[in-house]
Structure 1
Amino acid sequence: MTFNALISVDELAAAQAAGQPLLVLDCSFELTDPGAGQRVYDAGHIPGARYVNLDRTLSAEKTGRNGRHPLPSREAFAAAMAAMGLDEGTQVVAYDNANGMYAARLWWMLRWVGHHPVAVLDGGMAAWTAAGHALSTDAPATAVQGGFRLQPSLVSTVSYEEVKANIDLRQRQVLDARAPDRFRGENETLDPIGGHIPGARNRLFKDNLRADGRFKSAAQLRQEFDAITGGLPAEKLINQCGSGVTACHNLLAMEVAGLHGAALYPGSWSEWSAQPGAPIATGAN
């Protein structure tokens, strides 16, 4: 069975027990402590999982103008995944210590390089341990080079220039996944300038989750996104956040809700606010 959006703890455990070829990747991280994710992984991870670091593997070098987590080239990322053992058709399961906040970035990036069977563990590490499954501190065996090669992208992106032009064109709706106070331009601690892209609407990524950290139902997610967008088709939506990470959580939620085809603005607010003369709005609207 192939999983392309979410996989439950029970489904992952069953796949492992059945010996299904899997590549399980731990994406644990903390934005304010880049070394924390490795420590979390070393302290205990899903057996067989390999660690993927947001800064080293899921981002490229920063220039000061390209955001806090710029995308690497598609070629470089595809090669990095092959080096971790990825073969074409292998089911990938991504999880983290933050209810999918970082795992969703890996999910989106694998689709970006054309890999379809990739899913986020619903509820993450917390759900795994809550279900009584053990963690391991063993280092996985050295990865055997996989045969994955770059494929046509399954997702779309937009650039700073395209988002800026859209302010006047109003052809697409921008959704901002950051916390409401940061959207309003208050309490900004990660980027030098607070505010939001003019015309954007706020959809905090944490609103995709139930109280137990698992994703809401497809029907509820669809209803909530439609309420924010006025029922616009996904192709008319652009997702952004602070640095192109939590926006992927909204994109995953939209996939669960059956809203396929929304774009990501990878540079997001950290790139936008670093551009000279970029228009900036503050307040709730």
Structure 2
Amino acid sequence: MDLLVSTGWLESELGASDLRVIDSTLFLPGSGRNARREYEAEHIPGALFMDLDEIVDSDSPLPHMVPPQHKFASRMQSLGLADGQRLVVYDNSPLHSSARAWWMLRLFGAREVAILDGGLAKWKAEGRPLESGNPALRRGHFTARLDRAAVADKAFVAGALEEGGWEIADARPASRFAGEDPEPRPGLRPGHIPGSKCLPQSTLFDADNSWKRGDALGSAFADAGVDLGKPLVATCGSGITAAVLVFGAHLLGKEDVKLYDGSWSEWGADPDTPKATGRA
């Protein structure tokens, strides 16, 4: 499969024995929306629900940290996922959270993983079929192998700032990057990592929720001052929308990208990390 698949392609493939469709919708705290309930009310036929709020490292005080290998394998097996399947992820969230599901599945060794271009919003706008409820699941055999090299931690980011040579792109809205709006989680200082570039994840999409491609996508990075000739670290609030930047970079053929999993939830809470404000 391509990294992105169209709604038409997916509808034509529904029911294929090796295909699994995954709803990975996630919302920010305080949004007033419940992803699981919305999934149960309506989803693409046969789609499974991947709970990104639960598939985390429960021993970490930080939100959405990558879970241990055994936990990820167990959760994917309980969803009926198995080695060798084609996986298509989608969401119905302004966070474009399917990118996080794509990143985690790839991080743990799945290779045939694509995102549905336009997500559930485009699917519904085109009048394609929906169903409700929860499908019956049969446990699968999913082998998880964590690629630790794809994950950046706080020490790595601090080192990258000191040595230079890395681009750091922040996927949060410009007002949060600048420190003008409060963070949705308590206890965090406002602002951003010094030297990072503001690249709100929403700028990587067209008006119909489809991904920008080619020159238009490259221009989104360039307009934010991100030099894709350098290796890239993507960051955000808790590692969710940073995955949008990782996916966008992959669409442009860029592989030397890491995701800072702790993101501002870690950096902004640490009194010893340097912080900057303003839009420059």
Q: TM-score, normalised by structure 2?
A: 0.92
Change (3 A) 1:61 1:120: same
Q: Give the 3-state SS of the residue equivalent to 1:135 in structure 2.
A: coil
Q: Which residue matches 1:127?
A: 122
Q: Which residue matches 1:146?
A: 140
Q: Give the 3-state SS of the residue equivalent to 2:14 in structure 1.
A: helix
Deviates more, 1:172-181 or 1:128-137: 128-137
**Conserved? CA contact 1:100–1:124, under 8 Å:** no
Question: Distance in 2 between the 1:46 and 1:260 partners?
Answer: 30
What are the superposed Cα offsets for residues 95-128 of structure 1, whole Å, 9 maximum, x if unpaired? 1112661111110000100101111111111111
Q: How does 1:30-41 map to 2 (within 5 A)?
A: 30-31=27-28, 32-33=30-31, 36-41=34-39
Give the one of 204, 208, 213 matched to 1:217.
Answer: 213
**Conserved? CA contact 2:167–2:226, under 8 Å:** no
**Conserved? CA contact 1:100–1:123, under 8 Å:** no
Q: Which residue matches 2:192?
A: 196
Q: Give the 3-state SS of the residue equivalent to 1:238 in structure 2.
A: strand
The reply to whether residue 162 of structure 1 matches residue 153 of structure 2 is: no
Question: Distance in 2 between the 1:51 and 1:77 partners?
Answer: 14
1:171 Cα deviation from its structure 2 partner? 2.1
Give the one of 85, 102, 110 matched to 1:90.
Answer: 85
Question: Distance in 2 between the 1:152 and 1:72 partners?
Answer: 10
1:89 Cα deviation from its structure 2 partner? 1.5
Question: Distance in 2 between the 1:40 and 1:13 partners?
Answer: 20
The reply to whether residue 29 of structure 1 matches residue 22 of structure 2 is: no
1:20 Cα deviation from its structure 2 partner? 4.5
Q: Which runs of 5+ in 1 are unaligned?
A: none
Q: TM-score, normalised by structure 1?
A: 0.90
What are the superposed Cα offsets for residues 196-237 of structure 1, whole Å, 9 maximum, x if unpaired? 001100100000000110001123212332444554336x11
Change (3 A) 1:230 1:189: closer
**Conserved? CA contact 1:175–1:240, under 8 Å:** yes
| Percent identity of paired positions between Structure 1 and Structure 2 | 34
The reply to whether residue 102 of structure 1 matches residue 97 of structure 2 is: yes
Give the one of 43, 51, 54 matched to 2:52.
Answer: 54
**Conserved? CA contact 2:27–2:34, under 8 Å:** yes
Change (3 A) 1:84 1:155: farther
Change (3 A) 1:238 1:20: same
Q: Give the 3-state SS of the residue equivalent to 1:69 in structure 2.
A: coil
Question: Distance in 1 between the 2:107 and 2:219 partners?
Answer: 26
The reply to whether residue 184 of structure 1 matches residue 181 of structure 2 is: no
**Conserved? CA contact 1:74–1:112, under 8 Å:** no
Q: Which AA in structure 1 matches 2:258? A: A
> Over aligned residues, Cα RMSD in angstroms?
2.0
Deviates more, 1:239-248 or 1:256-265: 256-265
1:138 Cα deviation from its structure 2 partner? 3.4
**Conserved? CA contact 1:218–1:258, under 8 Å:** no
